[in-house]
Structure 1
């Protein structure tokens, strides 16, 4: 739901009732991962996506149903020969969809004693959506929701911030909320979206529960060293992929805003000195385009000892071999040197700065997702390699 939180908050501010459908489980090949969401308001306006088009129509109807009944709905969509051309995932996967209604306006009063009661919808839902939208735009936060368990708790949620404070409740037992906050906070620290299974003893309600935890953390960083034309193209590609892009070069005449309009930051400093000043996490990617031993050797000496996601360096194969000799002289081990992607990028036959940036970006994605970089045509490798969504199981509440 976090991917459409801003738009949902606008609906809350406008007093529009809506239902949110969220992917809460995936099996096999599926176009969207847990956390992907689609929302429909009472006027029939829809935003977001849960399947890339395969089952959107059926999910749209489920949202309208939830708006009418006021009850959450958990539905599974899968592929079979019978439903391949009807409702189903033609890509061969299975997805579980949780639909929860959100009422932001006051329910209409019953006309008489014989009229059915108004649907009961969690009165804090609108408030929670607003809190989620505010949190994910300014800080690290995670949303934990019950996606499997007693019907009366299905869809219950709480928002957890990095400092451990939270908004909302899972509606079961205070000990359940405490456990959910602890588990969610741990996943938030790692920037992970995953499911957490709580055993019957730990749920405090006699049956197992499954939580979907969606983490929203600041965008990962891409540090591009070397203010050359290839760096300008790579900065654009990095922004397209969702990175916070910094371009660093020791030469002020080259590292300018006019040359790098797409970069979030432009730094005039020696690359290794700037790197020493930064606190980087395991999602950070470093692209060394300096193409000059006096810059890239001291920089790579430090970079290859950091716990970052990717370190790549530009240069010919002859430059690469010379660079390896210099780095060995600086004391780097073969294991540390094995982390270096050089020459940088995948073999796409790239010539222009834009093609080279695409080559580098493709290698970064392949490294992040566990891809091979080989053509999918004729291959027998999985299309989706993402392993970031896994299940955690805990047995009891402390």
Structure 2
């Protein structure tokens, strides 16, 4: 028997578990439960406490689970047929044929964990999103390679991104809304982890060109098409946003729309219409461009290397992506370039 339902409710709330508090608000004798009786119903359908016997409990559990699904409270009236009041607004009436013949009115109150914003990256839009989401009572987690609590004072949790274990220590459940904005530093591993999770929303803040490159990489990583279709890019509603704060507002507005109007699913990344360009290399450049190489392709300075695939300059000390071939180390701006190189290193060496 549950001796203190309110303490149990507090424990569940503090651990982020969804539950329903059912309270008898009115009872007409003869009933086994009296006004003020309470019970806790957890997400697995277990009822703890007492709000009536075998005639009432199945109905209470059923309506409690429905309340957890839609987040809406309910007012139940369970009574014999002759006491039915008809279509009363705001009330669900259930006929009881128990021998006792009493009536119970029970309030079903769902308690869901606060929605969780998981922002991965270090762009100013992440700072703006963390502050705005927290002001709307979201739980906020920021993950970045050099993220600190001082940089994100409004976030509930701040942790470093682990390239080798991108999902390490992260909550990625159906109450989590993921926004990736790392400016190409670790978009691919972060998105691969998010798309393979139960996260309710996965968005990428990036240009169309960058988005297409990320999608190509994810396809090459064998992420299924149905999971890729979940990716939202551009992130947020089309509000014409320009500043980081406006972009953060458009993203949070889309998340609110998804939560409050579940049928209004966000449009996925428009990658089906995108043309993925093959990586540029010396072997694929036309002669006219090859003649321009000495003038157009940058020369690495001290501590820099040239990405052999896309010809971008890479800082050696902070390079995340590198590969060894024939005794030489090559450095890359992104995992897509590294993968392209490793498929045929002789083409680029």
Q: Counterpart of 1:175? A: 54
Distance 1:203 1:258, change over 3 A: farther
> Contact 2:196–2:227 (CA<8 Å) still a contact in 1?
yes
Distance 2:124 2:66 in 1: 39
Residue 333 of structure 1 and its aligned partner are, at CA, apart by 2.8
Distance 1:326 1:209, change over 3 A: farther
**Which of 117, 132, 138 is the aligned partner of 2:14?**
138
**Unaligned runs of at least 5 residues, structure 2:** 79-93, 267-349
Distance 1:313 1:160, change over 3 A: same
> Contact 1:203–1:209 (CA<8 Å) still a contact in 2?
no
Distance 1:316 1:204, change over 3 A: farther
Residue 138 of structure 1 and its aligned partner are, at CA, apart by 3.1
Q: Name the Cα RMSD after superposition.
A: 3.8
Distance 1:353 1:131, change over 3 A: same
> Contact 1:188–1:217 (CA<8 Å) still a contact in 2?
no
Q: Which of the pair has more CA radius of gyration?
A: 2
Deviations 1:33-88 (A, max 9, x none): xxxxxxxxxxxxxxxxxxxxxxxxxxxxxxxxxxxxxxxxxxxxxxxxxxxxxxxx
**Which of 260, 269, 290 is the aligned partner of 1:369?**
260
Single out whichever of 338-347 and 153-162 deviates more from structure 2.
153-162
> Contact 1:143–1:157 (CA<8 Å) still a contact in 2?
no
Deviations 1:80-131 (A, max 9, x none): xxxxxxxxxxxxxxxxxxxxxxxxxxxxxxxxxxxxxxxxxxxxxxx98965
Distance 2:261 2:58 in 1: 32
Instruction: Tell me the TM-score normalised to structure 2 length.
Output: 0.57
Residue 366 of structure 1 and its aligned partner are, at CA, apart by 1.3
Residue 228 of structure 1 and its aligned partner are, at CA, apart by 2.3
Distance 2:5 2:64 in 1: 19
Residue 233 of structure 1 and its aligned partner are, at CA, apart by 0.7
Distance 1:135 1:303, change over 3 A: closer
Instruction: Tell me the TM-score normalised to structure 1 length.
Output: 0.51
Distance 2:256 2:48 in 1: 33
Q: Counterpart of 1:258? A: 150
Q: Counterpart of 1:332? A: 223
> Contact 2:148–2:158 (CA<8 Å) still a contact in 1?
yes
Q: Counterpart of 1:283? A: 175
Distance 1:369 1:134, change over 3 A: closer
Q: Counterpart of 1:218? A: 113
Residue 297 of structure 1 and its aligned partner are, at CA, apart by 1.0
Residue 192 of structure 1 and its aligned partner are, at CA, apart by 3.9
Q: Counterpart of 2:138? A: 243
